[in-house]
Chain A
Amino acid sequence: MRRLFIGAAAAVGAVAILALSGMAFGHPPGELLRILLVGSIGSPFALQATLIKTVPLLLTGLSVVIAFRAGVWNIGAEGQFIVGALASFLVARFGLMAALLASIVAGAIWASIASLLRFWRGAPEVLTTILLNFIGFHLLGYAVNGPLQEARGQYPQSEVVPPKAVLPAIDGIHAGLLVAVILAIAAWVMLYRTEEGLRLRATGFNPRAARWAGVNVNAQIARAMAISGAIAGLAGGIELLGVTHRLFERFAAGYGYSGIAVALLAQLHPLAAVLSAFFFGALTTGAGELQRSANISATIATFGQAVVILTVIAFGAFHARD
């Protein structure tokens, strides 16, 4: 109950601070709130846009939930998202399943580089995952300006993926939403209803105690990192196959970093992440509307994410002990 209250307080607080900070530039806060609300859930069209944004946010959020639960600092969802999409694109001609599988594998491998460097050289994953984000970003830049650039060669973007690799959609909502929600439930079952999940959480809660209790802590860390990367990679694959259908330089659009805000607002609970991702999906979509109709930069959504994270940790609600 307390955790629900903290989450709601953080979300409301963030929106309130956004509206108030708009005042500094002469935008009446009521008007901003109205645009945010109408632009995110006020019409079927807006709601659809919000749901489509919810999918990558939920997946990267789950990626962060798994990692942080195991005490692994995977700040690399952004890079894993990118390499997932890249791999997905490369095998898209073999069909949808192959493309999705490739994104999962690529994300897991990209994340596991950080595990490898941690165990082999003692390099902290909090930094290596971030550095791998930058490397992934420039790799994508190279790909869409070089070998994967569209045949016309006009824009730094790839061709569209073949139709047989495109995710099916109903009313403009692609099947990725279903995949993401199922994964949220699966993550909950894994974390709370299996022994493996207990070991993972024990590793995150107190690695020394977990080791004493016979848990292979290093294996848990490596596995959590790989699963976390796999989900972030899948997020990239689904975004490619369900929404953008092609690659371009700004493909990741900060979804990886947003996943941290999603996970923390959910206080690292996989089911709460569904609501949290929807909230940030609405915030991002609403911010896009703010940019169009009030000329306020859509990066204001990033500001909102920061406020949410700070509010959650101010309540001390981060180190979930349940």
Chain B
Amino acid sequence: MHAIDSLLLAIAASTPLLLAVEGEVIVQRSGIINLGIEGMMLAAAMAAALTHSFLGGIIGAAAMAAIFGVFAIILRADQIVAGTAINLLALGVTGSLYREMQDAFARPVARLAHDLVVPAAWIVAPIGLAALLWRTMFGLRLRACGENPEAVGRSVAMYRWVALAIETVLVGVAGAHLALVLSSGFAENMTAGRGFIALSIVIFGRWKIKGALLGTALFGIAAAAQYALQASGIGLPFHLLLAVPYVATLLILCGITGRVRAPEALGRA
């Protein structure tokens, strides 16, 4: 019973990660690598903690996404460099604001009576996004933007903006969930690499929604094992356990078997 409890707990704790993976799948399917997802989530967590709302989180993520979009979609700048800049930007801005507005962050966050985000992220969003991607004309065109943008023509930018907007909503909710549900407020650099873990799971899941679910669940199990090890009191020292999620992600990345094919035009500036 205890094992199942901790497993469910770990899966619930992986919810922001799953939302980020789902968002990144959509964006990468449109041909863009958004490395700035870490910064988007961090900005979302801060905005959500300030406003005590999920909408605030989405607005925080949107601020970062808008800048990323200008560089990646309009200026066609290098996406990896632009994403790295977004991460630094979010780190700098949230760090500075946190110091400036300490009083505003001191207000305690009210506990949610029902956490609808977990079922939404694990059941509703995957079905909706998979249907959008694979069963609609819109999804077909969006994927074409990632495979052969020349064939789509002038509306490529529009599809990429829409994909980025979808990711923004998902990552905004993820950041808010992190700050309002999983923790009680904002802490500096609280995303702790979740964005990069999400990017790794996208590859492991071969740019598919069901792959996103599987990869995140695997990661959740690894995290549960970490908690169990910690609780057992034996074995690894605490600080080494902190490295477990990143080692697990490396292993997940290396567990890509067979031929992995990314969207053809992915990352092309």
Which residues on A are within 8 Å of B, measured CB to CB?
Answer: 25, 73, 75, 117, 120-124, 126-128, 130-132, 134-135, 138-139, 141-142, 145-146, 257, 260-261, 264, 295-297, 299-307, 309-310, 313-314, 316, 318-319
| Chain A residues whose C-beta falls within 8 Å of the C-beta of B269 in the assembled complex | 319
| Chain A residues whose C-beta falls within 8 Å of the C-beta of B99 in the assembled complex | 295-297, 299
The contact of A299 among B67, B71, B91, B200, by CB within 8 Å, is B91
Q: Does B115 contact A (CB under 8 A)?
A: no
Instruction: Indicate with 1 or 0, residue by residue over B243-269, a CB within 8 angstroms of chain A CB atoms.
Output: 100110110011010001000000001
Does A309 contact B81, Cβ atoms closer than 8 Å? Answer: yes
> A123 to nearest B CB, angstroms?
4
Q: Name A's interface SS.
A: helix
- Give CA–CA (A301, B67) in the complex, Å: 19
| Chain B residues whose C-beta falls within 8 Å of the C-beta of A75 in the assembled complex | 84
Does A309 contact B91, Cβ atoms closer than 8 Å? Answer: no
Does A134 contact B78, Cβ atoms closer than 8 Å? Answer: no
> A82 to nearest B CB, angstroms?
12
Does B96 contact A299, Cβ atoms closer than 8 Å? Answer: yes
The contact of B81 among A145, A301, A318, by CB within 8 Å, is A318
| Chain A residues whose C-beta falls within 8 Å of the C-beta of B246 in the assembled complex | 131-132, 134-135, 138
Most buried by A among B91, B92, B249, B253: B92
Closest 8 CB pairs of A and B: A303-B92, A299-B95, A302-B92, A306-B89, A142-B239, A138-B243, A297-B99, A309-B85
- Give CA–CA (A120, B197) in the complex, Å: 20
Does B77 contact A318, Cβ atoms closer than 8 Å? Answer: yes
| Chain B residues whose C-beta falls within 8 Å of the C-beta of A134 in the assembled complex | 192-193, 196, 243, 246
Most buried by A among B81, B84, B88, B256: B88
Identify which of residues 46-73 in chain B touch chain A, using a CB-to-CB cut-off of 8 Å: 67, 71
Q: Does B82 contact A (CB under 8 A)?
A: yes
Does B78 contact A319, Cβ atoms closer than 8 Å? Answer: yes
| Chain B residues whose C-beta falls within 8 Å of the C-beta of A131 in the assembled complex | 193, 196-197, 200, 246, 249-250, 253
Does A121 contact B98, Cβ atoms closer than 8 Å? Answer: no
Looking across the interface, which residue of chain B has its beta carbon closest to that of A313? B77
| Chain B residues whose C-beta falls within 8 Å of the C-beta of A121 in the assembled complex | 253-254, 256
Most buried by B among A25, A135, A146, A299: A299
> B50 to nearest A CB, angstroms?
14
Does B254 contact A123, Cβ atoms closer than 8 Å? Answer: yes
- Give CA–CA (A145, B255) in the complex, Å: 32
Q: With A117-B254, A121-B253, A296-B100 given, can you name 12 additional A-B contacts, CB distance below 8 Å? A: A117-B250, A131-B193, A131-B253, A138-B246, A141-B242, A142-B243, A145-B237, A297-B95, A306-B89, A306-B92, A313-B85, A316-B77
Known: A135-B247, A306-B88. A117 touches B239 (CB 8 A): no
| Chain A residues whose C-beta falls within 8 Å of the C-beta of B88 in the assembled complex | 257, 260-261, 302-303, 305-306, 309
| Chain B residues whose C-beta falls within 8 Å of the C-beta of A257 in the assembled complex | 84, 88
Looking across the interface, which residue of chain A has its beta carbon closest to that of B259? A122
Looking across the interface, which residue of chain A has its beta carbon closest to that of B189? A299
Does A303 contact B253, Cβ atoms closer than 8 Å? Answer: no
> A296 to nearest B CB, angstroms?
7
Does B203 contact A297, Cβ atoms closer than 8 Å? Answer: no
Looking across the interface, which residue of chain B has its beta carbon closest to that of A309? B85
> B252 to nearest A CB, angstroms?
10
Looking across the interface, which residue of chain B has its beta carbon closest to that of A295? B99
- Give CA–CA (A301, B88) in the complex, Å: 10
- Give CA–CA (A117, B203) in the complex, Å: 14
| Chain A residues whose C-beta falls within 8 Å of the C-beta of B82 in the assembled complex | 310, 313
Does A127 contact B239, Cβ atoms closer than 8 Å? Answer: no
- Give CA–CA (A309, B81) in the complex, Å: 8
| Chain A residues whose C-beta falls within 8 Å of the C-beta of B250 in the assembled complex | 117, 123, 128, 131-132, 135
Looking across the interface, which residue of chain B has its beta carbon closest to that of A312? B81
Known: A130-B193, A142-B239. A303 touches B93 (CB 8 A): yes
Identify which of residues 67-118 in chain B touch chain A, using a CB-to-CB cut-off of 8 Å: 67, 71, 75, 77-78, 80-82, 84-86, 88-89, 91-93, 95-96, 98-100
> A109 to nearest B CB, angstroms?
15
Q: Does B178 contact A (CB under 8 A)?
A: no
- Give CA–CA (A135, B253) in the complex, Å: 15
- Give CA–CA (A165, B31) in the complex, Å: 50
A-B pairs with beta carbons under 8 Å apart, 13 shown: A121-B254, A122-B256, A122-B260, A131-B193, A142-B239, A145-B239, A264-B81, A296-B99, A299-B96, A301-B92, A303-B93, A306-B88, A318-B77
Q: Does B240 contact A (CB under 8 A)?
A: yes
Q: Does B11 contact A (CB under 8 A)?
A: no
Looking across the interface, which residue of chain B has its beta carbon closest to that of A140? B239
